[in-house]
A and B are shown apart, each in its own frame.
Chain A
Amino acid sequence: MTEANGNHPGGDEAAGSLPAQQEPGEIIGVRRGMFGANNGGDTSGYGGLVRTVRLPGASSRPYGGWFDEVADELEGALEEQGFVPENVIDKTVVDRGELTFHIQREFLPVAARTLRDDPALRFELCTGVSGVHFPEDRGRELHAVYHLRSITHNRLIRLEVTAPDADPHVPSIVDVYPTNDWHERETYDFFGLIFDGHPALTRIMMPDDWQGFPQRKDYPLGGIPVEYKGAQIPAPDQRRSYS
């Protein structure tokens, strides 16, 4: 069902707004019904509607502005070091004026070091790592997203790596960007992503003996119903919601 819809751009929520050179991105969810309410009846007559949700997909050249320059320099610098750029960079996404390199996880330290040290790239400042959990993105459930800032060239790019739930390992880049020490601990704490090579990967926010990884989508929010003026208000994750 999902696949069939995925091959059919008309059924995609995101596809309509994408420029022509963009490929369809990964499916991260399926939306059913007219209003997206997950409880209560849908009397609109469109209750059987099924739409897939896709993230913005890979872009093709030219990316525009300084994006091409950065991509050229990165590919060139990787080649100089004996890497095949296509193996390192999965795809490049240009969306909403932001440049994202999807990096194969084993090449993340190489890519990060190149981006930091190459004089034409010079992304000196890493603003940490943010985890995202996509349970529907099969085989790439856990995403680690890095934002690198170049003060020299006044640029900002994003690196994204993925890891499957079954093997939640991503190489640490603490030795390239020491600032990521706490950030990687935080992402480990909340998503269970294991950053191989981190000097001391322990929980940072949650208690040391905490079970589970709270920011994963299958981890419940919790909460208790509250009585207000005689009515029961359910806990936030139990309330009627629209997707």
Chain B
Amino acid sequence: MSDTQATTHATAGIRETTEGTVYDVTGGDWDEIAKAVTSSDDERIIVNMGPQHPSTHGVLRLILEIDGETVTEARAGIGYLHTGIEKNLEFRTWTQGTTFVTRMDYLTPFFNEAAYCLAVEKLLGIEDDIPERAKIIRVLLMELNRLSSHLVAIATGGMELGATTVMIFGFRDREHCLDLYELITGLRMNHAFIRPGGLAQDLPPGAVDALREFVKKMRKNLPEYDALCTGNPVFKARLQDVGYLDLAGCMALGATGPVLRSAGLPHDLRKAQPYSGYETYDFEVPTVDTCDSYGRFLLRLEEMRQSLRIIEQCVDRLEPGPVMVGDKKIAWPAQLALGPDGLGNSLDHIKNIMGTSMEALIHHFKLVTEGFRVPPGQAYTAVESPKGELGVHVVSDGGTRPYRVHFRDPSFTNLQAMAAMCEGGQVADVIVAVASLDPVMGGVDR
């Protein structure tokens, strides 16, 4: 890039404010910014990174105060992806809620759905009535989802370092996960597949074979990340001792998930407060004590291996049976069936309610339009999402709609640790530190 171009590029994002000169970074222009910084006589410089910077995981805005290459203060500006999902939920039935929550952290849709449904089931008092097959498929989907979420974390993290092979590999393998989602739920994301009381439908024919094939393929592919990154001196140099947050920092800032486990504490809700039958599965909770980004990368890799183990156990355990509670006041009457257009009602069911059973028609109509009532009270459930503790606080006023639903999204809470991880470090390490938190703005902003 010639000097003249560089100057225009850099100056395009420079503004004089009452606080001093403000540089807007648009990506790939660190050289120019650094040059502008050295030629400036201003001691305190604020770099306003994002909200559209390619390496900020969506619309995250980082406000960095830098002194040369050192970040002296870092703050995050969020809210650019706020969609009012929690408010919207209050205007839909309890079942329709799943279509909204699945869109929160769009990389962990099954965790959002499962956490929400577990909370609704707790309020209804039907936790013990959920059929075994539904529980196994929930665990299966959540562990598949852990794989796809960690794959994106590693892939985008690699891309931000310039390791595009890691990115290609990560998205290649995530595609295998998405193919399975599509086969099982009909959709690649935003599934609304886990419903209060069970699942929207059963596994389609061929799913078990596809899952076994997938496990075999992933066992072959996962070591490639090891080969590419784990021992790679450049990768290690960029990640080791970067984004440092020790156990005291994690506890104070409420950081959970791989961030907490990278500080050596083996806290995992699947072991501590098991749900959906996790206590019956055989798996390990890996930890490292490096407190840094490299440790978090190793953890994600190991957690994916453990997820494969759980998926295998799920597939082995699957027995034919119902996937929805027996209570006809809660369960939707029809099992959805895959039609030529993707999703739809079972034609047999429509034939039954339209042709032979007036009562079934009324019942179907009431349950779908009006929904079921949930006794007044509140409940909190939490699941171990790939990012940490995903908590759901649900309040009912006894009506057919949620009175209040609050998601304690781990991305939101963990992102607070950004300042503690970045201040005092180098500008380039901010990217690595944020990537190791794996924030997804859909979850942060909701």
Q: Which residues of A pack against B, CB within 8 Å?
A: 13-14, 17, 28-29, 31, 35-36, 53-56, 95-98, 100, 124-128, 130-133, 145, 147, 149, 151, 154, 156, 158, 177-183, 186, 190, 203-207, 214-215, 221, 236-237, 239, 241-243
- Are the C-beta atoms of A215 and B413 separated by less than 8 Å? no
Taking A14-B376, A178-B252 as known contacts, 15 extra A-B pairs with beta carbons closer than 8 A to each other, sorted by chain A number, are: A14-B398, A31-B398, A36-B400, A55-B377, A128-B391, A128-B408, A132-B403, A132-B404, A147-B380, A156-B382, A158-B378, A179-B252, A182-B412, A205-B446, A215-B86
**B163 touches A (CB below 8 Å):** no
CB < 8 Å: which of B90, B251, B391 contacts A124? Answer: B251
B84 is an interface residue with CB less than 8 A from chain A: yes
Task: Tell which of B10-18, B25-33, B265-273, B429-437 binds the partner.
Answer: B265-273
Of chain B, the residue at the smallest CB distance from A160 is B378
A206 to B80, CA, bound (A): 8
Tell me which residues across on chain A come within 8 A of B267, comparing CB atoms.
Answer: 151
Nearest chain B CB to A97 CB, angstrom units: 8
Question: Are the CB atoms of B378 and A145 closer together than 8 Å?
Answer: yes
Interface residues of B in 369-417 (CB under 8 A from A): 370-371, 375-380, 382, 389, 391, 393, 395, 397-401, 403-404, 406, 408, 412-413, 415-416
Closest-by-CB residue of A relative to B75 is A200
How would residues 51 to 92 of chain B score, 1 for a CB under 8 Å from any chain A CB and 0 otherwise? 000000000000000000000000000110010101110111
Residues of A within 8 Å of B208, CB to CB, are none
- Please tell me if the beta carbons of A221 and B87 are within 8 angstroms of each other in the complex: yes
For B382, list chain A residues within 8 Å (CB).
127, 156
Cα A203 to Cα B79 in complex, Å, equals 9
Q: Nearest Cβ in chain A — how far from B278, in angstroms?
A: 14
**A96 to B379, Cβ gap below 8 A?**
yes
Complex CA–CA separation, A236 to B416 (angstroms): 34
Q: Which residues of B contact A (CB under 8 A)?
A: 78-79, 82, 84, 86-88, 90-92, 122-123, 125, 251-256, 265, 267, 272-273, 370-371, 375-380, 382, 389, 391, 393, 395, 397-401, 403-404, 406, 408, 412-413, 415-416, 445-446
| Chain A interface main SS type | mixed
Decide if B413 touches A13 in the complex (CB within 8 Å).
Answer: no
Determine how close the nearest CB of chain B comes to the CB of A106; give it in whole angstroms.
Answer: 23
Report 7 cross-chain contacts, Cβ distance below 8 Å, ordered by A residue. A14-B377, A147-B380, A147-B393, A178-B252, A186-B412, A205-B82, A239-B91
Task: Please give, as numbers and ranges, the residues of chain B lying within 8 Å of A151 by CB-CB distance.
Answer: 265, 267, 272
Q: Which partner residue on chain B sits nearest A187 by CB separation?
A: B406
The A-B contact count (CB < 8 A) is 139
Give Cα A100–Cα B446 distance, bound, in whole angstroms. Answer: 26
Most buried by A among B92, B273, B403: B403
Q: B87 touching A177 by the CB < 8 A rule? A: no
> Is B125 in contact with A96, judged by CB distance below 8 angstroms?
yes
Q: Give the docked Cα–Cα distance between A96 and B380 (Å).
A: 10
Q: Is there an interface contact between B413 and A56, defined as CB atoms closer than 8 Å?
A: no
**3 shortest interchain CB distances as A-B pairs:** A179-B254, A130-B406, A243-B399
B376 contacts A221, CB within 8 Å? Answer: no
List the B side residues contacting A98 at CB < 8 Å.
Answer: 378-380
| Known pairs A145-B393, A154-B273, A179-B253; A28 contacts B379 (CB<8 A) | no
Give bound CA distance, A180 to B399, whole Å: 31
Judging by beta carbons under 8 Å apart, are B397 and A53 in contact? Answer: yes
Residues in A neighbouring B393, C-beta threshold 8 A: 130, 145, 147
**What are the residues of chain A within 8 A of B253 when measuring CB–CB?**
178-179
A210 to chain B, nearest CB (A): 10
| A182 contacts B416, C-beta separation under 8 Å | yes
| In contact, A179 and B416 (Cβ under 8 angstroms) | yes
- Known contacts A14-B377, A132-B395, A154-B272; decide if A243 and B401 are in contact (CB<8 Å): yes
- Check if B375 sits within 8 Å of A13, measured CB to CB: yes
> Contacting B398 at CB < 8 Å: which of A13, A97, A145?
A13
Contact B79 A204 (CB under 8 A): yes
Complex interface: chain A residues within 8 A of B273 (CB)? 154, 156
Q: How far is the CB of B210 from chain A (nearest CB, A)?
A: 36
B396 to chain A, nearest CB (A): 9
B261 CB to closest chain A CB, in angstroms?
12
Closest to B122 in A: A96
The CA of A13 and the CA of B123, in the complex, are separated in Å by 14
Residues of A within 8 A of B408 (CB): 127-128, 130, 147, 183
* B84 pairs with A214, CB closer than 8 A: yes
A140 to B421, CA, bound (A): 39
Contact of B370 among A35, A126, A182 (CB under 8 A): A35
